[in-house]
Chains A and B, each alone.
Chain A
Amino acid sequence: DAGVIQSPRHEVTEMGQEVTLRCKPISGHNSLFWYRQTMMRGLELLIYFNNNVPIDDSGMPEDRFSAKMPNASFSTLKIQPSEPRDSAVYFCASRIRGTAYEQYFGPGTRLTVT
């Protein structure tokens, strides 16, 4: 299995631009999670989906952030407009529901907003 796939791996953008991060979960997994990792705040859960439906978005920092999962094999995290404080590594993880919470992480997208 290819594992969780994220693209791009690195993104550098200017403040005010729209940023879209992409994730392909492991085939057969029906839960998907978006995390953000920074030195200051550690690993934060932003949002997660079960069967393509958003279940908990309480970790989304503000309205500039949005996430979608149009089908079982694809999800996006969008930031519009981006700000320098959004600079972080964004991880996507997936799992099979009902297997006691084991999550598989992608390699992450390192976002730098200048």
Chain B
Amino acid sequence: AQSVTQPDIHITVSEGASLELRCNYSYGATPYLFWYVQSPGQGLQLLLKYFSGDTLVQGIKGFEAEFKRSQSSFNLRKPSVHWSDAAEYFCAVGAGTDKLIFGTGTRLQVFP
């Protein structure tokens, strides 16, 4: 069965520091992978997606993610975090149907 694991429930970084949020997936075929961000009281907003081709994908707000098939990972990165990046981040995999399988989320806290 398809699954997504986000091993870090909560991450705290200082403003200006680099960030990497981990995501591992389990899926038999070539996955469609997504990162969404949810600010407090808001819906989920798509940050970036991977369908095929270049394994390093760029998204909005300065985020990027790298697909590594050998590690079944799709980690999200940002070189310099801003206080406004504090939010919850969800990794998701397209499950071969219309549905998305979401991870449990990583809450990012940013200290000034």
Q: Residues on A close to B: CB < 8 A?
A: 4, 31, 33, 42-43, 45, 48, 50, 55-56, 91, 93, 97, 100-108
Chain A interface helix/strand/loop/mixed: strand
Interface flags for B29-50 (1: CB within 8 Å of A; 0: not) read 0001010100000111110010
C-alpha spacing A102/B49, complex, angstroms = 8
Minimum CB–CB distance from A30 to chain B (whole Å) comes to 10
In the complex formed, the residue of B with least CB distance to A43 is: B102
Minimum CB–CB distance from A64 to chain B (whole Å) comes to 23
- Among B45-70, those with CB < 8 Å from A are 45-46, 49, 51
Minimum CB–CB distance from B76 to chain A (whole Å) comes to 17
C-alpha spacing A102/B44, complex, angstroms = 12
Chain B interface helix/strand/loop/mixed: strand
Contact A105 to B45, CB < 8 A, known contacts A43-B90, A100-B51, A100-B94 = yes
In the complex formed, the residue of B with least CB distance to A48 is: B98
C-alpha spacing A61/B9, complex, angstroms = 26
Partner of B98, one of A97, A104, A105: A97
C-alpha spacing A91/B41, complex, angstroms = 11
Please give 19 more A-B residue pairs, beta carbons under 8 A apart, in addition to A56-B98, A100-B32. A31-B98, A42-B102, A43-B90, A45-B99, A48-B98, A48-B99, A91-B44, A97-B98, A100-B49, A100-B94, A101-B34, A101-B98, A101-B100, A102-B46, A104-B46, A105-B36, A105-B43, A107-B43, A108-B42
Minimum CB–CB distance from A31 to chain B (whole Å) comes to 6
Minimum CB–CB distance from B25 to chain A (whole Å) comes to 13
Measured between beta carbons, the chain A residues less than 8 angstroms from B45 are 105
Question: B43 near A91 (CB under 8 angstroms)?
Answer: yes
In the complex formed, the residue of B with least CB distance to A106 is: B43
Q: What are 28 A-B pairs with beta-carbon distances under 8 A?
A: A31-B98, A33-B99, A42-B102, A43-B90, A43-B105, A45-B99, A45-B100, A48-B98, A50-B98, A55-B98, A56-B98, A91-B43, A91-B44, A100-B49, A101-B32, A101-B34, A101-B94, A101-B98, A101-B100, A103-B46, A104-B46, A105-B36, A105-B43, A105-B44, A106-B43, A107-B42, A107-B43, A108-B43
